[in-house]
A and B are shown apart, each in its own frame.
Chain A
Amino acid sequence: MKNITPKSKIARSAAFALIVLFQMITGFAYAQTGTIRGTIYEESTGEPLFGVSVLVRETSTGAVTDFDGKFDIKVAPGTYTLQISYISYSTVELTSVVVEDGKVAVISDILMKEEASELETVTIAASAIRTTESAMMSVKRNAPNVLDGITASTFRQIGDGDAASAVKRVTGVSVEGGKYVYVRGLGDRYTKTVLNGMDVPGLDPDRNTIQMDIFPTNVIDNIVVAKSFTAELPADFTGGVVDIETKDFPEEKTFRVSVSGGVNPSMHFNSNYLTYEGSKTDFLGFDNGARAIPTGGSTNVPQYGEVVGNPNGAKGQEYQSILGGFNKTLGASTKTSPMDFGFGISFGNQIARPKVTWGYNAAFTYKNETEFYQNAQYNLFAKPIESSEFELDALERQTGNYGVNNVLLGGLAGIALKTNASKYKLNFIHLQNGESKAGTFDFVNTNLGANFEAKQYNLEYSQRTLSSILLAGSHFFDGTNWEVNWRLAPTRSVIEDPDVRFTRFRQPTNTISTEVGLPVRIWRFLEEYNVNGKVDLTRNMKSFGRDSKLRFGGAYTFKYRDFEIQSFQFVTGNTVLDGNPNTILNQENLFSAENRNGVRYNPDFIPINPNQYQGYVTNFAGYTSFESNPAKNLKAILGLRVEQFNQYYTGTNQTGTINYDLVEMLDDLDFFPTLNLVYGLKENQNLRFSASRTIARPSFKELSYAEILDPITGRTFIGGMYRETTNGGQDVLWDGNLVSTRINNFDLRWEVFQNRSEMVSFSAFYKTFEKPIEIVQFLADPGSFQPRNVGNGTVAGVEVEFRKSLKFIAPSLENILWTTNVTVTKSQIAMSESELKSRQLTAREGQEIGRTRDMAGQAPYLINTGFAYNNFSNGWEAGIFYNVQGATLNYVGFGNRTDTYSVPFHALNLNVNKTFGADERIRLNFGVQNMLNDRKEFVFTSFGAQDQIFSSLAPGVKVNFGASFAF
């Protein structure tokens, strides 16, 4: 499969793009006159209006909008009034349109209202129209399904640097670990993230969705979160599908350079910061090979037992050469921590030619962020043996400091062209992210029949790469009666953890043994290719005497994943150690003919590597949906999607007795009906109802015979195909038959859209889960985790959202907008048999064990609230936002382990922007994150017991600042 790397194709396509760009910049950069560009939408549907006449009063020149509702008029510099008219619509008069020589005046959001009776004229000043959230609101108001979103203008206001922090602002969205999106508190298993409407490979083998933090906001145009299903969306989401749309081509020529910085007094310029020597290219977000595996990744590596008898034989020489090749640094060193910094460049333009309009844009971003966590804690607590005792016992306590340096490099380039009936778009995106971690911890163990104190050293590096190409086209036939959209997107993503190093010395003796854990080195590799294609056809027609739409189309997804871990343990033999981790691998300590009981490596992956698999997925989808207005105020969208999903797996178990080679693990043919009703109670007031069926499928790893041991945590992941029984095989706790989860979704929403930016909505939702998958611990071995279908579950919730200008208090507060969204949910899941049994066995005196509990990862409530100040005339924007998520079940407790819950983190962030010049030539921003200086904590909870820390981190207060300049 690897010969299909689209590298050469990328190179060829990139060369083509460059030529086009060059021609456009040199050929069309000089204009003799000014330009007016704009987009006109139908107010009630939010759809672009085709064939609208736009007349410049003063010159009597004009244009007619194209299928995108766009127009383009060349005029001499001056101030004009535009007269916009369309049959049976109120005429719009747009005054004070200022055109400068060689520049483009953009009026991007003109709405026209149908007026059957009388020809009426609406007059608006051009300066009053700006791209703001109102564009998103009009999409929202008119969308057939329930959706929310956030646009580029809001990223700027709030000052979020990446998609993960930006998307948190959306109603009902939370982000776990700064990376993974939860919609309505449903875990990432039930949330899907797509890029430009297309599946992209996730960058974590344990997750279904992509890590959001690798998308810098300067390549994003908007993020739309659809919370109810329509037939043209992929069926494997339940909470929501998050669509990251990258920037399309701009309306005017832009060239912008930005610089940014951040200072966290608790983390930066600290001389105790921990780091280690990595590679020379770490600052670019990738390792240059300095962390390469000394075996070259070979699985034909000599083992100690094969060479101990003959150290100087051929194999022995090879063994010693590999042994000497391992990097000798195992411990962190101190350095003064730098502050955060970054810069970005973006540029683009649109060139209107007589028959074709060209557009291009490119963005490049670099971020270098440093974190230093002091007194970080990671603990393990358990219930005491006697059920009459309540307070938890400590099993392991780990306290120490660690430093993290995160580098993100991102680039996006796109070209687009539009003819009178077609539009094409070609986009390249490449993201590179490298994260280096170094930590030193004090470790106290009172677990596993082992009591000891130790000093622990961790060094880690993780690099992620995503390269994606998107080719898309839209075609209109028969006026705009037929619309055809197609998209094709190949993507490659790689995640590598080269040379994770873990060392622990027992204190005070400075010895290393199996009891404290042997030094470990791990190389982890995951590569995934996706190819997605889809075609959507829309037929605009009349039914019930009103406009209606028939949509149908198909999609195809292909996925290939290759996953492998190679790990090595280091036995120190009779070597006398001094407690310095960096001397363990000194030459004189290593195994040799003279030192046969010296330090040696043991490869864990020979001859069988159960930590390795390949998987393929193919998914064929087809759908049809019909959107109509059976009554005047009622819009109904009825749809049906069908997906044929197949998953194939290649891998083995630990003992090598099960060897699967490209075996079909999943063969699901499902029909997904969907109904969306939108009833217009009044103008700008909708009542929505939707019902649909969706699916959540097990991942490659879950539906496998994998047995993946994490040598650092000692936890083993067991594939879902194995059974578990108890009582000598009499009671079956899990039958080894992992299946997809089918979900029924019901949504009800009442919404009022007031002025351009004000709105109120109330939603209620209810979901039923048939055989949801959760990660369950083995009853016989709490250190082993397995995906299993547990009992059926339900999630019910309500959402409230409003955006309200403070004008109602005093007119002078007109520019202050109060935005709030609150989600409250109640989830319930029927426990698996093994969990129920385990909870009953370890119940405390007086504790009652029910058959149900909260769904893991499901937040009971989410609150986002804040005030935004906007004043376009003086260029000030400011926002203060508060965000909190209720205590959420994180890990499900088992045996004597208890449940862990997140502790609500109260985030209060401030951001201020000031722009200078009419075209925002200079933009400055300043912000403070985590103003309350809260800690991020998870705790163990148990009946009648005080909560105990599971993990605790202090992110500190961070001050951000930045500046950008347009040329």
Chain B
Amino acid sequence: MKKVNSILIVFLVSLIGFTSCIEGNDKPTDVDGNSGSSIVVSSNITTNTTWQTGKVYVLSGRISVVSGVTLTIQPGVIVKGEVGTGANATALVIARGAKINAAGTATQPIIFTTVADEIQPGQIASPNLDPTLEGLWGGLIVLGKAKGSFAGDVTEIQIEGIPASDTNGLYGGTDDADNSGVLKYISIRHGGANIGEGNEINGLTLGGVGSGTVIENVEVVANQDDGIEWFGGTVSVKNALIWNSGDDAVDTDQAWAGTLDNFLIICGANTDHALEIDGPEGSYNAAHTVKNGSVKGHPASEFGDFRASARGTFENIYFFNFPSPADNNNAGRGDLSLSTGSDVTFANGALKFNKLEATLKEGVTLQQAFRSGTDVHASTVALKANTVGATKSVFEGWTWAAAAGQLADFK
């Protein structure tokens, strides 16, 4: 009996031990707030803020400019994202209702890169990182109130890469003329941190951005996912250069209704499609225009894939340096294809092609490269003999690609 009693005491002591520490604490008060003078940016931007020329700003997490607030980034500013993937991917989010005023210049572009990059204000090329290193931080996400065609026909939706618990990730609405600000002479590099499958951050993500927004002269280098991806919205983009994107270079979804004019794509080893064009996800239909582009391929890349009843007009685009679709066990690379309903939209005129040109690998026919009857809108030309394509001069002087001599192959 004594033994039994001693065990009992042991239990009672452990019981007391377990319970004595339960003294609940108070809910912590929100210590959020930006001093504005700090170069490390560690919390959401909730008052109008200016980042100044000559300085480097480090994003220590996913930083949102919240609705009603304007972030001004002066020419020449370098923004660096801390390392981090998954939930810890760093990014600059311009929330719906917020504005970014980032007007760089041809001599003083604004550069978004990783903290691993030792680049300093005034430099164009990275002194220490190769232009193939990707996924070192997240990216730049701009969200707006313009319409999109969303699954389930909801009017607003959460952007990929931001959990639904963060309402700064919502985009979409009914204001097609919405203005999210100005992006000019921007170079975004080494981003695209992965969250999960089908949940990545693009170099420049444009979700429901309205036509009042001005986006011109943008370069995206070595992004682990897509270079620029549009999710609905009405914004137009002029003069875009995408180099070494990890997935697709240009990706459009959810019935984006703007224009991409004058673009240059340089595919890298990991680039999947130069153009990945998807149709609407809901019952709302709209279409976009992609024109005046020059695309340099890579052995594992495709010209483009048009799917999910894609809509729009694609004209004056030149492709070269792509593999034969028969290469690599008939991997089907190096072509332009229509799938899942896009053959129907092509037949009924909702999807239009006009003046496509290509310099094909020897032995590849126009029909093999431009499939599903799109070859009637295409022709072959000798290398650099293209009559359509991008005007490359606008990328000289301020892009890393130009500084690295990557534009030499383009006419």
Contacts and interface: CB of A to CB of B under 8 A. Distances in A.
Interface of A: 1, 4, 6, 9, 12-13, 16, 303-306, 308-309, 382, 385-387, 424, 426, 446-451, 469, 471, 488, 490, 508-509, 511, 513-518, 529, 531, 533, 556, 558, 560, 567, 569, 571, 573-574, 596-597, 602-611, 616, 618, 646, 648, 653-664, 705, 707, 709-712, 714, 716, 718-719, 722-729, 778-784, 786, 837-838, 841-842, 894-896
A424 B8 CA distance: 11
A449 B308 contact: yes
B247 A780 contact: no
Given A718-B165, A727-B155, A727-B156, A386 B283 contact: yes
Given A4-B17, A449-B253, A567-B86, A709 B195 contact: yes
B36 interface: no
18 contacts: A488-B15, A508-B331, A514-B225, A569-B194, A597-B133, A616-B22, A654-B87, A654-B165, A655-B61, A658-B28, A663-B27, A664-B25, A714-B199, A725-B167, A727-B156, A728-B156, A778-B158, A780-B156
A663 to B, nearest CB: 5
A659 B134 CA distance: 31
Given A451-B307, A514-B225, A716-B164, 19 more contacts: A4-B17, A9-B14, A308-B129, A309-B128, A451-B340, A471-B8, A508-B331, A511-B270, A513-B247, A608-B87, A610-B87, A655-B62, A709-B87, A725-B167, A726-B154, A727-B155, A727-B156, A784-B163, A838-B152
B342 to A, nearest CB: 11
Contact of A596 (B133, B199, B247, B308): B133
A609 to B, nearest CB: 8
Contacts of A490: 11, 14-15
A387 B163 CA distance: 29
Contact of A533 (B15, B154, B170): B15
Given A451-B339, A529-B18, A707-B87, A782 B308 contact: no
Contact of B7 (A471, A531, A660): A471
B116 A514 contact: no
Contact of A663 (B21, B26, B163, B270): B26
A513 to B, nearest CB: 6
B382 interface: no
A194 to B, nearest CB: 18
B397 to A, nearest CB: 27
A895 B155 CA distance: 12
B109 interface: no
A205 B367 CA distance: 56
Interface string B332-365: 0100000110000000000000000000000000
B145 A728 contact: yes
A841 B224 CA distance: 35
Interface string B82-123: 111111100000001000000000000000001110100000
B86 A711 contact: yes
Contacts of B15: 488, 490, 531, 533, 556, 558
Interface in B280-302: 280-283, 300
Nearest to B254: A449
A778 B28 contact: no
Most chain A CB within a 10 A radius of its CB, from B61, B157, B199: B199
B305 interface: yes
A719 B166 CA distance: 12
Nearest to B62: A655
A712 B82 CA distance: 25
Contacts of B14: 4, 6, 9, 490, 531
B116 A309 contact: yes
Interface string B309-324: 0000000000000000
A305 B22 contact: no
A837 B32 CA distance: 34
A664 B85 contact: no
Given A386-B283, A726-B154, A838-B152, A447 B17 contact: no
Given A604-B85, A604-B86, A654 B62 contact: yes
Nearest to B309: A385
Interface of B: 3-4, 7-8, 10-12, 14-15, 17-19, 21-28, 30, 32, 43-44, 61-62, 82-88, 96, 114-116, 118, 128-130, 132-137, 145, 151-158, 163-167, 170, 173, 192-200, 224-225, 246-247, 251, 253, 269-270, 272, 276, 278, 280-283, 300, 305, 307-308, 328-331, 333, 339-340
Nearest to B137: A305
Contacts of B86: 567, 569, 602, 604-605, 709, 711
Contacts of B158: 778, 780-781, 784
Contact of B247 (A514, A646, A714): A514
Contacts of B115: 305
B325 to A, nearest CB: 12
Contacts of B22: 558, 616, 618, 646, 648
A306 B283 CA distance: 46
A63 to B, nearest CB: 24
Contact of B276 (A303, A449, A604): A449
A657 B43 contact: yes
Contacts of B24: 646, 648, 662-664
Given A509-B331, A726-B156, A778 B164 contact: yes
B28 A571 contact: no
B336 to A, nearest CB: 14
A304 B282 contact: no
Contact of B170 (A710, A780, A784): A780
A653 B43 CA distance: 13
Contact of B198 (A309, A450, A573, A707): A450
A712 B86 CA distance: 12
A246 to B, nearest CB: 18
A842 B339 CA distance: 24
Nearest to B31: A657
B172 to A, nearest CB: 9
Which of A604, A659, A786 neighbours the largest number of chain B CB atoms within 10 Å of its CB? A604
Given A471-B11, A604-B87, A514 B200 contact: yes
What are the 5 A-B residue pairs with the smallest beta carbon separation, nearest first? A604-B86, A305-B83, A895-B152, A664-B24, A517-B197
B329 A508 contact: yes
A660 B27 contact: yes
A18 to B, nearest CB: 12
Given A451-B305, A782-B151, A306 B269 contact: no
A385 B281 contact: yes
A657 B32 contact: yes
Contacts of A387: 283
Of the listed residues B4, B14, B165, the one surrounded by the most CB atoms of chain A closer than 10 A to its CB is: B165
Contacts of A517: 196-198
Nearest to A302: B83
A449 B339 CA distance: 12
Nearest to B339: A451
Contacts of B88: 604-608, 654
A655 B166 contact: yes
A308 B133 contact: yes
A655 B86 CA distance: 11
Contact of A13 (B7, B278, B333): B7
A726 to B, nearest CB: 6
Contacts of A781: 157-158, 163-164
B145 A714 contact: no
Contacts of B28: 658-661, 663
A668 to B, nearest CB: 14
Contacts of B114: 305
Contact of B130 (A556, A596, A718): A596
Contacts of A609: 87
